[in-house]
Amino acid sequence: MTMKLLVKMMLNGLVLIPFLYLTTNATIFQIVMSSLGLSLLAFFVGDQWILQETNNTMATVADAGLVGLYLWALSVMLNWGLSAGELIVGVLLLGVVEYFYHRMLHRWDEKGPVY
């Protein structure tokens, strides 16, 4: 589980950190903490619960919804200035990452991790 979570944090961070840096007025600390928080939340809700009970499509849609709500809430609370269009782009980008991450998890569970 630890390696799966670390991979998720890395993949989400590779997309979310530059995205938030370019589209918001958030500080680097806020961006990094937001990325880590989203990764943890999405891992336990999306990957450990929804993906286990349903399929990749449902888990990806749930993760995308979670990303949208999470980023919208942070943008409002922290006054980041994230527009609706930018939010949609972020949701789509992370949705694609989540889809392929879930596929990787499926192969990983079948064959074991590849180092």
69-103 pLDDT, tens digit each: 999 999 999 999 999 999 999 999 999 999 999 99
Segment holding 92, helix H or strand E: helix 84-111
The Cα–Cα gap between 102 and 39 comes to 13
At residue 114, does pLDDT exceed 60?
no
| Helix, coil or strand: residue 80 | coil
Residue with tokens 């269009």: 85
Single-letter amino acid, residue 10: M
Q: Give CA separation, 111 vs 3, 59, 107, 108, in Å.
A: 15, 21, 6, 5
| pLDDT tens per residue, range 27-40 | 999 999 999 999 99
Cβ pair 1, 43 in contact under 8 A: no
Task: Quote the pTM value.
Answer: 0.88
3-state helix, strand, coil in the chain (%, to 5): 85, 0, 15
